[in-house]
Amino acid sequence: MAKQRQAKKKLGFLSSGSFKELEKPVTAFHRGMKDAGFVENKNVKITYQWANHDLERLPELARKLVEAGVDVIAATGGIAAAQAAVNATRNTSATQQVRVVFVCGSNPVGANDRVGGPGGNVTGVTTSTAESLPDRLKLLEKMVNKKRVVALLTNPTSAFARQEAQKGGGAPILEASSDAELKERFAEAKQRGYAVLVGADTFFTCRRDRIITLARQSKVPTAYAFRDYVDADGLMSYGPSLTNAYRQAGLYVAKILGDETDVDLPVLSPNCFELVINLKTARALKIDVPLDLLARADHVIR
């Protein structure tokens, strides 16, 4: 029995992206686990499955984690990973029920299906950016002193494209779902004198560096939902903190691994929004950042 109590818990980490792109959020995830008493290779073994943007592989990768006998799957990098994990675990028996903790834009299964709920095995942290999109648009308008029309870049294949367009309040829509189309849309934005607000779709998040390069080359002022873009030389961002969301998910995973499944673990909504401005990028674009915008910023990169 003593050996059984000392056995390492098994965690599966499923992501639609790659480790390189998610290194900072994953570090925050580990920090959340550590805060609740779980450390990789000490008392928990973690098996990682990275789809590297090939979303069609996610169901297979999720099944592999279930077959490996993991206790929990942390499903990250977008709703496709969360849905793959949910579907893979729905076929497990009651005695082998695998829990799922997701980090994605919206709850993939509904408000009542959660750890602690009747028969629920799913919970997590949403990183919804739709509610903050109008504020993000106004902040970019202020950044460019209303000298440019702000256009919204969306992925037409995304389930959230229509919602983002509605929240955009009539802003011109630029659509891209491939690398070639991204290049074309930034060329169009340059020609028309637009500033660009990038949607929060996983397709764009996974092409962060590509988008920042296109924005720099075309000299188009561009705003984002997540700070990671600004840390990588994007102009500005306003939205939920991804690192905080991953840290919260790590805490949830640790609670479940610690057998705290008798308590309710509701799906968490964003509770930490941040405005981040990169002054180096602003200077390169010859933008004089308004002082009231600087005063409001949570972080300024100089």
For residues 183 and 288, state if they share a domain: yes
Pairing of strands 273-278, 236-240: antiparallel
Average pLDDT, the chain: 90
What is the domain-level CATH number for residue 191?
A: 3.40.50.2300
Q: What would the pLDDT profile of 113-170 be if each residue is shown by its tens digit? A: 555 554 578 999 998 888 899 999 999 999 999 899 999 999 998 878 888 989 998 9
pLDDT over 60 (residue 268): yes
Question: How high is the pLDDT of residue 4?
Answer: 42
Q: What would the pLDDT profile of 48-60 be if each residue is shown by its tens digit? A: 999 998 889 999 9
For residues 151 and 67, state if they share a domain: no
Query: Phi and psi for 254 in degrees, rounded to 5?
Result: -65, -40
For residues 284 and 171, state if they share a domain: yes
Inter-axis angle of helices 208-218 and 179-192, nearest 10? 30
Instruction: Write the DSSP assignment of 114-167 as a string of letters.
Output: STTSTT--EEEEE---TTTHHHHHHHHHHHTTT-SPEEEEE-TTSTTHHHHHHH
pLDDT over 60 (residue 1): no
Q: How many domains does the structure of the chain reveal?
A: 2
For residues 219 and 279, state if they share a domain: yes
Q: Which range marks the domain in which residue 98 is found? A: 2-128+241-272
pLDDT over 50 (residue 3): no
For residues 187 and 279, state if they share a domain: yes
For residues 78 and 162, state if they share a domain: no
Cα torsion through 86, 125, 58, 97, rounded to 10: -30
For residues 14 and 102, state if they share a domain: yes
| pTM as predicted | 0.84
Tell me how crowded residue 188 is: count the other CB atoms within 10 A of its CB.
17
For residues 61 and 143, state if they share a domain: no
Weakest-pLDDT range from 77-86, 156-165, 196-205: 156-165
For residues 155 and 260, state if they share a domain: no
